Amino acid sequence: MTERITKSMAKNIYYGGGTFALLIFLALTLDTVKQIPQRSNEVKMTESVVMGKKIWEKNDCVGCHTLIGEGAYYAPELMNVFQRRGGSDESAFKAYMKGWMASQPLAVPNRRKMPQFHLSDEEVDNLSDFLIWTSKVNANDWPPTIEG
């Protein structure tokens, strides 16, 4: 016995499935929006962090680096650079960043060249604060390795 799907049945499947998918989408969206305050580290955002983000954008750092997996894959991921290069010590990381930014571009053969941006010490501190803040965002264990 062969049963055929009628137009009415097909229409019910289409509308029922579409409605079900829409409800699932809305539920997942609401769940995500509810989780953002706990995961974003927004409460620890300072003026220095905001200024660091502006420096990041002004100098197009994302044109070479990735941050939380977003950006270009030419240079290293920087979400966990604070743990990698600062050992979770803010003053050591800021000192590292000042030295690193001042020494660019490095004269190492066969190495990608990072440009010299001529940032002031305050701008490097702001950029460092932005990277420190970024490292404390809950990104589901991204990046997967300490070296990004």
* pLDDT at position 29: 97
Query: What is the distance between the alpha carbons of residues 19 and 112, in angstroms, rounded to a whole number?
Result: 51
Whether residue 146 sits in one domain with residue 75: yes
147: number of Cβ within 10 Å: 10
Whether residue 134 sits in one domain with residue 64: yes
Mean pLDDT, range 23-27, rounded to an integer: 98
Query: What is the distance between the alpha carbons of residues 57 and 133, in angstroms, rounded to a whole number?
Result: 16
The proportion of the chain whose per-residue pLDDT surpasses 70, expressed as a percent, equals 98
Considering its fold, how many domains does the chain have in total? Answer: 2
Q: What is the DSSP letter of 112?
A: P
Q: Which domain holds residue 15?
A: 1-39
Q: What is the DSSP letter of 105?
A: S
Residues 127 and 50: beta-carbon distance below 8 Å: no
Whether residue 87 sits in one domain with residue 55: yes
Whether residue 9 sits in one domain with residue 74: no
